[in-house]
Structure 1
């Protein structure tokens, strides 16, 4: 069940500059290599944070077995704190309607820059690192294998790759539509993120109190 529970958090991962960046990169001069580099950087950072959080959470179990009741409760409390922080951070930045100035430079970005951007945005950005840590810790608390995070990671990467995939499939029509999608995401993605975080908070509270 944990595999399905963590999947919606992929939406939280891509809200904000994380999805706006690949939209810009999809219309850059080297859009193919830039998009691949960005997604690959994101893959490495997300995977790293999830695995580290999982291993740290599992260490409470005394050697990798199923966690004891008290350790599981503690991990659920940690997950709850992380989620509440993510919700507060998302709400606090809800009125940031203009993308950062550096995004205007993405149309002339290099693959190396795109890789670093994907790695840092998805691995170091506050809401993303907190979300990835929540996934790893939640799986550890449930005694589930870390491979259950695969779906969460792949769904996040697929959404990040959608702008470039759209250009491949429909060409110029996608390039014309991407700015409108970018503006809509910039204005409304925080609402979707808050709804997903709220859902996961409810699931965590059920596990904590149950």
Structure 2
């Protein structure tokens, strides 16, 4: 797998994904609940990469992503993705005063381990941006003739980014207890910033 794919792990967790991790770490049973969330993220990312690798194998190596495509199909997909991402970034910016995080995020404050695990699964497998990233990783594996093992660094990086709020909580303990709710509230109020940043990062990586 190409090294340039690794930064896509940031895009995987940008937006509601990382906000979910922060909310869970501010709850009453932060450690076990966050651990369940991370398990869900790890399983979903692993399964998603495997499925994307299978799709890429069926489609074949004719479509190339990540700035290396020479065929018309590859270029058309790249341009279409960039156009969609630009539109999404502009929409978030224009509606920045009214953009609010999904209501289900607030419910995570009372989440138990089971709900956190399911959230970790679904927040990867159902997010359009994550689906695009997983397909990109699968296509990259196919183009380079790499097996599933080559995607392990990407999977590990995704889980590590998802684990940052929990690691912060464990390392700083009492300070984190006071800081993390403030970070959560800032992200709630500036959700559009996270969304726009994720779109821009992905545009750069595509081009």
TM bracket (short chain): 0.7 to 0.9
Please name the residue that 2:17 is paired with.
Answer: 18
Asked if the contact 2:15–2:198 (Cα under 8 Å) also holds between the matched residues in 1, the reply is: no
1:190 aligns with 2:195: yes
| TM-score w.r.t. length of structure 2 | 0.80
1:59 aligns with 2:58: yes
Please name the residue that 1:124 is paired with.
Answer: 126
Aligned mates of 2:80, 2:9 — CA distance in 1: 15
1:175 aligns with 2:174: no
Q: Which deviates the most, 114-123 or 145-154?
A: 145-154
User: 1:42: Cα distance to partner?
Assistant: 1.0
Aligned mates of 1:46, 1:90 — CA distance in 2: 24
User: 1:86: Cα distance to partner?
Assistant: 5.1
Q: Deviations over 1:66-85 (max 9, x none)?
A: x5xx4654884586377434
Please name the residue that 2:112 is paired with.
Answer: 110
| TM-score w.r.t. length of structure 1 | 0.79
Aligned mates of 1:71, 1:102 — CA distance in 2: 37
Gaps in structure 1 of 5+ consecutive residues: 62-66, 203-210
1:50 aligns with 2:82: no
SS at match of 1:143: coil
Aligned mates of 1:15, 1:71 — CA distance in 2: 26
